[in-house]
């Protein structure tokens, strides 16, 4: 690895300052803000500790993105059902309101996720 190592942001708080540390023969990355700690790397292998941390952070971001995509699919399905009900004259006033509220909340989550990505780059 190069001398200038870049750590991924903390996958839990996204804002914490991360640092390389070691105890005995193990190296690890930890977040100074929320206390999250990456997997240990034996033999004080700092490069391996960095790879462990960055991999864990990437997996956490991926899981969050997958959850958002799933929720978007559910919202799309609900919107299609409401549209079909409306076309056939089925009253769905309460469902429309619930869907709009859920869509707004989902949009807020998506906006927060994307703004975290902007801050991380």
Summarize pLDDT for 30-70 with one digit per residue, the tens: 899 898 888 888 888 888 998 988 888 888 888 888 898 88
Summarize pLDDT for 60-114 with one digit per residue, the tens: 888 888 898 888 888 888 778 777 777 777 666 666 667 777 778 888 888 888 7
Give the residue among 28, 21, 23 at the shortest CA–CA distance from 54.
28
Judge if pTM exceeds 0.85: no
Residue with tokens 């801050």: 119
Give the residue among 77, 57, 59, 72 at the shortest CA–CA distance from 105.
72
3-state helix, strand and coil shares in percent for the chain, rounded to the nearest 5: 60, 10, 30
Q: Please answer whether residues 38 and 28 qualify as being in contact, where contact means their C-beta atoms are separated by less than 8 angstroms.
A: yes
Which tokens in the block code for residue 93?
Answer: 């006033």
- Rounded CA gap, 27 and 42, in Å? 7
């Amino acid at each position: 690895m190069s001398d200038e190592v870049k750590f991924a942001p903390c996958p839990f708080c996204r804002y914490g300052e991360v640092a390389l540390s070691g105890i005995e023969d193990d190296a690890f990355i930890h977040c100074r803000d929320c206390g999250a700690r990456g997997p240990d790397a034996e033999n004080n292998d700092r490069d391996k500790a960095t790879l462990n941390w960055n991999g864990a952070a990437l997996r956490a971001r991926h899981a969050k993105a997958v959850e958002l995509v799933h929720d978007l699919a559910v919202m799309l399905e609900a919107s299609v059902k409401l549209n079909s009900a409306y076309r056939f004259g089925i009253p769905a006033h309460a469902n429309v309101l619930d869907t709009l509220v859920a869509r707004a909340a989902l949009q807020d989550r998506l906006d927060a996720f994307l703004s975290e990505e902007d801050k991380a780059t």
